[in-house]
Amino acid sequence: MTMAICIKCGSEKWGAWTPCEGCKYEPKAIEDRARQLMLTDHYYSMQELDLFGRRIAAGEPWVFDERTTDDFLAEYIQALHAQAVYDANEALVNEYRDTLDKEERDFTDEMGELVWTSSALLWRYGHFQGRVARAHTIGGWDAALAEFQKIQAEDPRLWSLEIMRSRTDDIDSYIVNVPARPTVGV
Ligand SMILES: [Zn+2]
């Protein structure tokens, strides 16, 4: 189990998000959960945690600068997002897994969950991409977007994908991918 320091009173506790026995504080908001996660033995040694705990107990409001805290929070939100996208698409991932041979599976396993989900979603999208390409050839970006949205309505799993216009001076094209970051709040 994880060894943690309470972000409110500096006491030691087991588990980042468990209630503190000292002050009863229990982190609920995402930001507080992320900050509580920072003060665990996942990231710091016991000696460092002990020092952080003493600083908080002495009245210091927080032990990291804003930049470090914000970076961690952004990473945490991204990880939550990756997990949520994966969870929402688990059946599709399994369907996709079955189409791969063992070596491909092992390779993708090493890349982590977001890669699995992205690959599965793009594989699924592959069944439809000809329609979007045709629409684009005939009617340009607006037609491609409309066709893409029609496909998402037909297979709601594809809501996790996004289409983006990609335009240069002589080429008006588009890209379909899985957003690495959440487009809306978690
Ligand atoms: Zn506490």
pLDDT in tens, 53-80: 999 999 999 999 999 999 999 988 888 8
Ligand 1: distance of its center to the CA of 67 in Å?
24
- Give me the pLDDT at residue 163, please: 94
Ligand 1: distance of its center to the CA of 39 in Å?
12
Look over the chain and give the mean of its residue pLDDT values, rounded to a whole number.
Answer: 90
- Give me the pLDDT at residue 185, please: 40
Distances (CA, A) of 50 to 5, 44, 88, 142: 8, 10, 39, 58
Neighbours of ion ligand 1 (CB under 5 A): 6, 8-9, 11, 20, 22-23, 25
Ligand 1: distance of its center to the CA of 9 in Å?
4
Where does the pLDDT of residue 184 fall: very low under 50, low under 70, confident under 90, or very high at 90 and above? very low
